[in-house]
Amino acid sequence: MKHPDDVLLSAWLEDDLDDAAQRAWISDHVEVCIQCRDAVQELTALARRAGEEPPEWPGKEAAWELLRERLGGAQPSTSPMRGGTGRPKYKGARWGWRLWLPTGAAASLAVILAALLMRSPASVDPSVLALLAEDAVVARTLESATGSEGAAGSQAVWSANRMISQGVDDLERALRARPGDPALTMLLRRAVEHRAQLLTEMPR
Amino acid sequence: MDIERAAARDQAAFRRVYLATADRTHRLARWLLGTSDVDDVVQEVYVRVWDRLPELREPAAFGGWLRQVAVSVILRERERAARRESRDGGSRYLGGVPDSGASQVGLRLDLERAIARLPAQARQVFVLYHVEGRPHLEVGELLGISHHTSRSQLHRARALLKAYLKDGASNEAS
């Protein structure tokens, strides 16, 4: 008797097989084949076991001591959207903040970039330009996510998040070359805030 | 209550939050990265969490939010490590889970080791799909692959895991 292999069985389990005849063959086969039924059960059990509670991480107490040292100097990010209560003021719709991001952020970044270029064109890191370009992409992505819920909205936000993360990387590199540069610092802060907003507002 | 206190910059409360969630975050990093320096990445996750916690609107949603932040930080580290690897020509990736991370023997350790043996992409897809519960579209987006590839890698991972676990069981028996 011919048996489907485990990859095929896994695809059948997830209803990922496009071929209707193949699906029907496996369904019929699993009905009568004890060996394949066992294999299906093992594959199903894998997912269940992966989701079980993790073992204890023995180093977590020691790691806390290191973490505490870093937290000592850490300050909460100073979002322009946040009030004195420690909570954001933007209590509107889940995607309400997308309205300020495309316009306000892109405009202010453009002003900062123009100032940088006027001050010292040679010293401007191309990564800043990259961030500005990416910010525009982010804005477009968020625009396209308007009204999107579930996977589509989530996908758009993750895409934007990844682009902003790249911008943060670029800016961190630029700041290492020019430590303390106020314009770069401001850009970095904005990028980090954008990313924090994305993560906070991520559709769940 | 601890979430709100931690958001108000109470380090003792944040310590309790950290201790309650660190096992899971560490496993996520271990499984997604398979590197020798997972502890550093976990620390980075909690630095970000501390920094952004005041922005969390709903403390009840902390668990999901923490995992979003963790996945974001861990995958960013994965990209950085991949860039370093291609630049330096070397690899810090061990392709395996450190034994110290798995404190219990038996089936759980078998699964840890089996997951550690998986090829990187198959392992990441398996973890994001089954442990993090992300749909294939999102897994593909996170890893920079198509959702079709995500599906095929998931089935490959499951088939390999089944085979590895069978190998382990037969080795122990012999």
What is the per-residue DSSP string for B18-48? Answer: HHHHHHHHHHHHHHHH-BS-HHHHHHHHHHH
Least confidently predicted of A36-50, B79-93, B155-169 = B79-93
Question: Cβ separation of A199 and B72 shorter than 8 Å?
Answer: yes
Averaged confidence pLDDT in chain A:
66
List of chain B residues whose C-beta atoms are within 8 Å of the C-beta of residue A96 = none
pLDDT of residue A191: 66
Question: Cβ separation of B27 and A159 shorter than 8 Å?
Answer: no
Nearest one of A14, A77, A78, A82 to A44, comparing CA atoms: A14
List of chain B residues whose C-beta atoms are within 8 Å of the C-beta of residue A39 = 162
Q: What residue type is assigned to position A133 of the chain? A: A
Strand runs labelled E in B10-167: none
Question: Cβ separation of B69 and A51 shorter than 8 Å?
Answer: no
Most confident of A48-57, A183-192, B31-40, B41-50: B41-50
Q: φ and ψ at A53, to 5 degrees?
A: -60, 140
Record the pTM: 0.58
**CA B59 distance to own-chain centroid:** 23
Which residue in B22, B111, B158 is closest to A57 by CB distance? B22
Q: How far is B171 from chain A (nearest CA, A)?
A: 18
Question: Cβ separation of A158 and B156 shorter than 8 Å?
Answer: no
pLDDT of residue A198: 59
Q: Please compute the mean of the pLDDT values over residues B52-73 and round it to a whole number.
A: 89
Return the residue in A200, A202, A204 with the most chain B beta carbons within 10 A, the one to mutate for interface testing.
A200
Q: How much of chain B is helix, strand and coil, in % rounded to 5?
A: 80, 0, 20
ipTM over 0.90: no
Rounded CA gap, A179 and A192, in Å? 17
Q: How far is B125 from chain A (nearest CA, A)?
A: 12
Q: What's the 3-state SS for chain A?
A: CCCCCHHHHHHHHCCCCCCHHHHHHHHHHHHHCHHHHHHHHHHHHHHHHHCCCCCCCCCHHHHHHHHHHHHHHCCCCCCCCECCCCCECCCCCCCHHHHHHHHHHHHHHHHHHHHHHHHCHHHCCHHHHHHHHHHHHHHHHHHHCCCCCHHHHHHHHHHHHHHHHHHHHHHHHHHHHCCCCHHHHHHHHHHHHHHHHHHHHCCC
Question: Cβ separation of B108 and A52 shorter than 8 Å?
Answer: yes
Rounded CA gap, A82 and A88, in Å? 4
pLDDT of residue A54: 86
Which of the two residues, A109 and A5, has the higher pLDDT score? Answer: A5
pLDDT of residue A82: 35
What number of other Cβ atoms are within 10 A of residue B32's Cβ? 26
- B45 touches B70 (CB < 8 A): yes
Rounded CA gap, A109 and A35, in Å? 63
pLDDT of residue B141: 86
Q: How far is A76 from chain B (nearest CA, A)?
A: 5
Query: What confidence tier does A153 reach under pLDDT thresholds 50, 70, 90?
Result: low
Q: How far is A118 from chain B (nearest CA, A)?
A: 33
